[in-house]
Amino acid sequence: MERPAAPAVPQDPAETRLTITSPEQMRELGRHLAKLLRAGDLVMLSGELGAGKTTLTRGLGEGLGVRGAVTSPTFVIARVHPSLGDGPPLVHVDAYRLGGGLDEMEDLDLDVSLSDSVIVVEWGEGKVEELTEDRLQVVIHRAVGDTTDEVRHVTLAGLGERWAEAGLETLTA
Ligand SMILES: Nc1ncnc2c1ncn2[C@@H]1O[C@H](COP(=O)(O)OP(=O)(O)OP(=O)(O)O)[C@@H](O)[C@H]1O
Ligand SMILES: [Mg+2]
């Protein structure tokens, strides 16, 4: 009998958990995470309204050294921030109103190749996973019911070979 093929994605994703206590610290996490990113990476951000997904992305933009401040892309589905240096552009996607998923994403006519970019997607669950085999899944939790609390629990799970030794464990709050 043949041995079953090894799973394409490791069963145990590289996972890092951090506790963040302010918006500034969330941005700083973004700046640090940016140093681990490269062209072709897909980062999926999960978390309820106001969890801090865009705040984290702002830090990613700063760390990547891209043009334009990252803001909530509420009225556009995706915004491209070109690099100010020779790094990859940041493509910031708000998939909230993206119905069809992948096809629509490719139809956005972003004028930039996704494989040459770092793609950060808010609200992308069930919509953009097919873009790449590997992805970094970032989940941000806030304490429910306490609207003044600035504490956030962040879990970073790297799925696929790309993230196996990417250094996620070096990130600190
Ligand atoms: N620790 C924290 N990290 C990030 N944001 C925080 C934190 N504490 C408080 N905040 C505040 O929470 C809000 C987060 O807003 P942000 O736009 O980043 O959330 P979001 O997850 O992108 O929301 P949406 O789902 O609407 O896009 C900001 O007003 C920010 O100042
Ligand atoms: Mg947002």
Count of structural domains, the chain? 1
Distances (CA, A) of 82 to 14, 90, 91, 92, 140: 29, 6, 8, 11, 26
Residue to mutate (ligand 1; options 24, 54, 147, 151; most atoms within 8 A of CB): 54
Pairing mode of beta strands 42-46, 118-122: parallel
Is 170 within the bounds of a domain?
no
**CA atoms of 43 and 114, how far apart (whole Å):** 12
Which residue did the predictor score with more confidence, 23 or 1?
A: 23
Instruction: For ligand 1, say whether the CB of 55 is within 6 Å of any of its atoms.
Output: yes
Is 172 within the bounds of a domain?
no
Instruction: For ligand 1, say whether the CB of 62 is within 6 Å of any of its atoms.
Output: no
Is 79 within the bounds of a domain?
yes
Q: Which long-range contacts (CB under 8 A, 24 or more apart) does 44-47 make?
A: 44/121, 44/124, 44/125, 44/128, 44/129, 44/135, 44/136, 44/137, 44/138, 45/120, 45/121, 45/122, 45/124, 45/138, 45/140, 46/125, 46/137, 46/138, 46/139, 46/140, 47/139, 47/140, 47/141, 47/142
pLDDT of 6 reads 59
Q: Which ligand is nearest to the CA of 151?
A: 1
Q: If residue 103 lies in a helix (H) or strand (E), which one and from where to where?
A: helix 102-107
Is 9 within the bounds of a domain?
no
Is 4 within the bounds of a domain?
no
Determine the structural domain holding residue 37 and report its residue range: 14-165
Q: If residue 81 lies in a helix (H) or strand (E), which one and from where to where?
A: strand 78-81
Q: Which ligand is nearest to the CA of 72?
A: 2
CA angle (46 as vertex; 171, 111 as ends), nearest 5: 90
pLDDT of 100 reads 66
pLDDT of 35 reads 97
Is 6 within the bounds of a domain?
no
pLDDT band at 168; cut points 50, 70, 90: very high
**Percent of the chain, pLDDT > 70?**
83
Is 126 within the bounds of a domain?
yes
Across the range 6-20, mean pLDDT stands at 73
| Closest ligand 1 atom, residue 140 Cα | 21
pLDDT band at 110; cut points 50, 70, 90: confident
pTM of the predicted model as reported, rounded to 2 decimal places: 0.89
Instruction: For ligand 1, say whether the CB of 26 is within 6 Å of any of its atoms.
Output: yes
Is 8 within the bounds of a domain?
no
How confident is the model over 52-79, as pLDDT tens digits? 999 999 999 999 999 999 988 666 788 9
pLDDT of 172 reads 84
pLDDT of 144 reads 66
Residue 26: which CATH number? 3.40.50.300
Across the range 47-56, mean pLDDT stands at 95
pLDDT of 130 reads 82
Across the range 144-173, mean pLDDT stands at 87
Ligand 2 centroid, distance to 7 Cα (angstroms)? 33
Distances (CA, A) of 47 to 53, 64, 88, 112: 7, 23, 25, 27
CA angle (147 as vertex; 144, 149 as ends), nearest 5: 90
